[in-house]
Amino acid sequence: MVLLAWAASLALLLAAAVAIYVWRVPIMRAWPPAIRLFAGLGLA
Q: How far is CA 31 from CA 4, 16, 17, 35, 38, in A?
A: 35, 17, 17, 8, 11
| Whole-structure pTM value | 0.75
- 1-44 per-position pLDDT tens digit: 999 999 999 999 999 999 999 999 999 999 999 999 999 999 88
Average pLDDT, the chain: 96
pLDDT, residue 28, reads 96
Domain boundaries, the chain: 2-40
pLDDT, residue 13, reads 98
